[in-house]
Amino acid sequence: MAPIATAQTVSDADIADLKEAVRAATLQHKGDFPLPPDGTLRRYKKAGIDLSEGYPYVPKAALGGGVSRDQAARVDEGAGETSYVDPASRADPKKNALLSAATKVDHLTQHIGTEISGIKLDSLTDQQKDELALLAAERGVVFFRDQDLSPQAQRELGLYWGQGRIEVHPQAPQVPGQPGALIIWEEGRPKNWGPSARSHRLPYGGGHYGWHSDLSHEEFPPGYTHLYQDSVPVTGGDTLWASGYAAYDKLSPTFKRLIEGLNGIYRSANVYPDTSKPNAAPKPILRKHPLVRTHPVTGWKSLFVNRWWTVGIEGLDGPEATIILDYLNDVFERSTDIQVRWRWTPGTSAVWDNRVVNHTVSFDWVGDRHGTRVSSLGEAPFYDPKSKGRAESLGLEEWNGADYDNFRFSNLGLQ
Ligand SMILES: [Fe+2]
């Protein structure tokens, strides 16, 4: 049998024409971007991606800085919640079709993260896709090494999970000819976004350490989100995820009651001009969502805050909201027991449920780090007062520990 062609078997000579095409287009247009990594070009060569217009593709409105609030607000246009049926709702709760096809299933931590071996994502049946969605909804993030995934196949998966609704960002760099296949590549940031300001001393300004969920300000923020890394630095560049279910479960019953039913205020990363007010300064988009949201399929409550984009709480004064949000974000960011840290290898996919996890990158790499992300849009976030936390729902008694401070004070004879 002939060996199966993979992106890794595409030779240097095979990608020479792509390099020449990108160089020629770059000279002709802007000269803003370096050549993408060789591993990326091999993948694109095999996938037949046309780079004759240069790389990456950046929407023209973004290059001119002229994306209006209306355009930005249309990122999730057509994503009506009534039309969305989460694919996980169709899945066999045991997930036999998916798990029985795997050679190994490794739960990386107690509360978040599962690695599956022996499965190729571009040959999943619909039943397996549904079950993978459910697994991501339950475990937060699922990893697959040794993939050989074209941008087209990645996009098709996202369209399946989003029922035809994926985020097509009006500004972010994308794979040419593949709308919605966003490029995660530090060197591919458009220069008119301003300096990335990322240095090893201070990778993120504002003291938020990078933890976030993607596009939390949108009306229908992404659910199933799939990052495929085709080029990976030899050292560093790990990604970390933290469980929103477990972050919620860590709160005391009294604190849970305090925040449940409240709406957070979420802002967009970018600011946009209002075309109806030509003289007004550009502003971010702000939107309300519940601080504690219910997952539509697992039915579990998840903390839905992130230090980067949750900027207030409806009904509370700024300083009051700051105290509460700081604490909730501390739970996410400081609780290493509800986090998983992932070491990438080339050709690895991470599929996470953006509704119930936060994530960040460890900005410590030198060299190539390039991937593509497809985000399937979810439902409008909602809070069901009758829903339960994951620990309560699963009867995880180890979560019912004594309050540490009461224990400590009683030992000291102070109570
Ligand atoms: Fe992200």
pLDDT at 404 over 80: no
**What helix, strand, coil percent values describe the chain, rounded to 5?**
35, 20, 45
State pLDDT tens for residues 2-13.
Answer: 444 566 688 888
State pLDDT tens for residues 337-365.
Answer: 999 999 999 999 999 999 999 999 999 99
pLDDT score of 2: 44
* pLDDT band for position 401 (cuts 50, 70, 90): confident
pLDDT score of 281: 84
Question: What is the rounded average pLDDT of the residues 316-329?
Answer: 97
Q: Which of 58-67, 131-140, 221-230, 380-389 has the lowest mean pLDDT?
A: 58-67
State pLDDT tens for residues 64-73.
Answer: 556 666 666 6
Q: How far, in Å, CA of 65 to CA of 272, rounded?
A: 9
Instruction: Tell me how far the alpha carbon of residue 360 lies from the centroid of ligand 1, in angstroms.
Output: 7
Closest by CA to 214, choosing from 257, 248, 184, 234, is 184
pLDDT at 229 over 50: yes
Closest by CA to 335, choosing from 391, 251, 214, is 251
Residues at Cβ < 5 Å from ligand 1 ion:
214
Instruction: Tell me how far the alpha carbon of residue 325 lies from the centroid of ligand 1, in angstroms.
Output: 19
Q: How far, in Å, CA of 362 to CA of 239, rounded?
A: 6
Instruction: Tell me how far the alpha carbon of residue 359 lies from the centroid of ligand 1, in angstroms.
Output: 6
Full set of structural domains in the chain with CATH: 1-55 (no CATH), 59-411 (3.60.130.10)
Return the HEC string of 384-409: CCCCECHHHHHCCHHHCCCCHHHHHH
pLDDT score of 70: 64
Q: Which of 9-13, 111-115, 278-282, 410-414 has the lowest mean pLDDT?
A: 410-414
Instruction: Tell me how far the alpha carbon of residue 23 lies from the centroid of ligand 1, in angstroms.
Output: 29
Q: How far, in Å, CA of 344 to CA of 353, rounded?
A: 19
pLDDT at 380 over 80: yes
State pLDDT tens for residues 259-287.
Answer: 999 999 999 888 887 778 878 888 889 99
pLDDT at 83 over 80: no
Give the DSSP letter of residue 166: B
Prediction pTM value: 0.92
Instruction: Tell me how far the alpha carbon of residue 401 lies from the centroid of ligand 1, in angstroms.
Output: 33
Question: What is the rounded average pLDDT of the residues 411-415?
Answer: 58
User: Computed over its alpha carbons, how large is the radius of gyration of the chain?
Assistant: 22
Q: What is the residue-averaged pLDDT of the chain?
A: 89
pLDDT score of 164: 92
Instruction: Tell me how far the alpha carbon of residue 307 lies from the centroid of ligand 1, in angstroms.
Output: 13
Instruction: Tell me how far the alpha carbon of residue 201 lies from the centroid of ligand 1, in angstroms.
Output: 20
pLDDT: which is higher, 242 or 15? 242
Instruction: Tell me how far the alpha carbon of residue 373 lies from the centroid of ligand 1, in angstroms.
Output: 9
Instruction: Tell me how far the alpha carbon of residue 361 lies from the centroid of ligand 1, in angstroms.
Output: 8
pLDDT score of 414: 57
Question: What is the rounded average pLDDT of the residues 112-122?
Answer: 98
Strand order in the sheet with 370-377: 104-107, 114-117, 141-144, 348-353, 222-231, 370-377, 182-185
The tokens describing 184, both together, are 């995660």
The tokens describing 251, both together, are 């709160």
pLDDT at 402 over 60: yes
pLDDT score of 192: 61
Percent of the chain's residues with pLDDT above 90: 68
Instruction: Tell me how far the alpha carbon of residue 204 lies from the centroid of ligand 1, in angstroms.
Output: 13
pLDDT score of 1: 40
Strands 283-290 and 357-361: unpaired
Instruction: Tell me how far the alpha carbon of residue 18 lies from the centroid of ligand 1, in angstroms.
Output: 28
Are 134 and 93 in contact, with CB atoms under 8 Å apart?
yes
State pLDDT tens for residues 132-157.
Answer: 999 999 999 999 999 999 999 999 99
Closest by CA to 248, choosing from 326, 302, 304, is 302
Q: How far, in Å, CA of 132 to CA of 113, rounded?
A: 13
State pLDDT tens for residues 162-208.
Answer: 999 999 988 889 999 999 999 999 888 776 665 555 677 777 766 67
pLDDT score of 41: 97
